[in-house]
Amino acid sequence: MKVELKTWTQLGVATALVGAGLSGCADEADTGAEPAASASQSGEMGEGGEGGETGEGGVSVADAARDPVVYNTALAVAEAHAIAARDAFAAGRTDAAAEMFAHPISEVLADMDPVFEERGVGDFKPLFEQASRTALDGDSEARVENRFDAIITALRDASEKAPENGLSDAAVSGAVAADMIDRAAAMYREAGSSDRYEPYLDGYGFYKTAQRRFDTAHDGLEDENRRLHDSIEEALTLLERAYPGVERPVELNADQSELLAIASQVMLRRLPGPRG
């Protein structure tokens, strides 16, 4: 499947993908995943609540403006899709890769534009559009990898400009990892209800991002909150079995109840931040 460049330019990458017949990512709002702002108890969620509007990615923009956990969770949601896209492309899933690169634009990044602008972060949505085009065109794996690397660099640069509220870097990374674990467990449950690839691929990306966040926080979190550290470690071990690779297994044999239970434990033990 190819989409003409004129279509991309006129409609934007996400709209063009939908028009070309690609389904959207699994609706995380319906999976039971806890909204991102709750990862640091930043404020009430929902329309008219203290936390303000919550986007499709489960991130409160108002909270992201003052809370490093919510801010970095928005970035992690985008990263999870990029990881899933890169690995799906390597597995020959061209259309799924293009979709995964495109989806964070509408799911979280567009909503975060005012926050990024306020914090002096340049617009990096075009990097996701370019990566999506590259994948959809069936370009080389090396080219897609280069696009992915540019996205990760932009996300890391944006993270450096996160707001501060007294939490350590380890605490923030641990709380973001907890949110990603919660999403991965919820998406595995969603994947088990049908034979669709997208929920599994979503969950795979969240699991991989949780692992990356935990790797950066490992030592500091072990000192600051050993109970959370150990719970995350246990959850990641279970998720590794649930998501053995980017390709969906013929049967999803991981214990969904066990996954959801450990995800709940991780969320309960995450380090709360002060209310703004």
| Model confidence pLDDT, tens digit, residues 184-232 | 999 999 999 999 999 999 999 999 999 999 999 999 999 999 999 999 9
pLDDT above 90 (res 183)? yes
Q: Which two tokens stand for residue 94?
A: 């061209």
Beta bridge partners of 60: 54
> From CA 65, how far away is CA 249, in angstroms rounded?
39
pLDDT band at 39 (very low <50, low <70, confident <90, very high): very low
| Pick from 50-54, 103-107, 128-132, 249-253: least confident | 50-54
> What does the pLDDT average to over 78-91?
98
> What does the pLDDT average to over 115-123?
97
pLDDT above 70 (res 115)? yes
Tell me how far CA of residue 69 lies from CA of 63, 154, 273, in angstroms. Answer: 9, 18, 8
- Following DSSP, what letter does each residue of 31-91 receive, concatenated? TTPPPGGGGGT-S--STTSTT--B-TTS-BHHHHTT-HHHHHHHHHHHHHHHHHHHHHHHT
pLDDT above 60 (res 257)? yes
To 10 degrees, the CA torsion angle through 150, 152, 158, 162?
A: -170
> What does the pLDDT average to over 5-9?
32
Kindly state the percentage of the chain with pLDDT values over 90.
75
In this prediction, residue 58 carries a pLDDT of 82
Cβ 12 vs Cβ 6: under 8 Å? no
pLDDT above 80 (res 50)? no
pLDDT band at 26 (very low <50, low <70, confident <90, very high): low
In this prediction, residue 258 carries a pLDDT of 96
48: left (phi over 0), alpha (psi -120 to 50) or beta: left
pLDDT band at 270 (very low <50, low <70, confident <90, very high): confident
pLDDT above 80 (res 28)? no
Nearest to 72 by CA among 213, 225, 186: 213
The rounded mean pLDDT for the chain is 83
Nearest to 222 by CA among 155, 174, 153, 166: 174
Q: Which two tokens stand for residue 150?
A: 């540019």
Position with higher pLDDT, 169 vs 54: 169
In this prediction, residue 272 carries a pLDDT of 53
SS3 120: coil
Nearest to 133 by CA among 94, 83, 77: 94
In this prediction, residue 55 carries a pLDDT of 55
SS3 237: helix
> From CA 258, how far away is CA 197, in angstroms rounded?
22
Nearest to 44 by CA among 22, 67, 63: 63
Kindly state the percentage of the chain with pLDDT values over 70.
78
Q: What residue type is 89 in one-letter code? A: F
pTM: 0.82
Position with higher pLDDT, 5 vs 272: 272
> What does the pLDDT average to over 176-183?
97
In this prediction, residue 27 carries a pLDDT of 52
pLDDT above 90 (res 35)? no
With b for 16 or more beta-carbon neighbours within 10 A and e for fewer, the 43-59 pattern comes to: bebeeeeebbebbbbbb
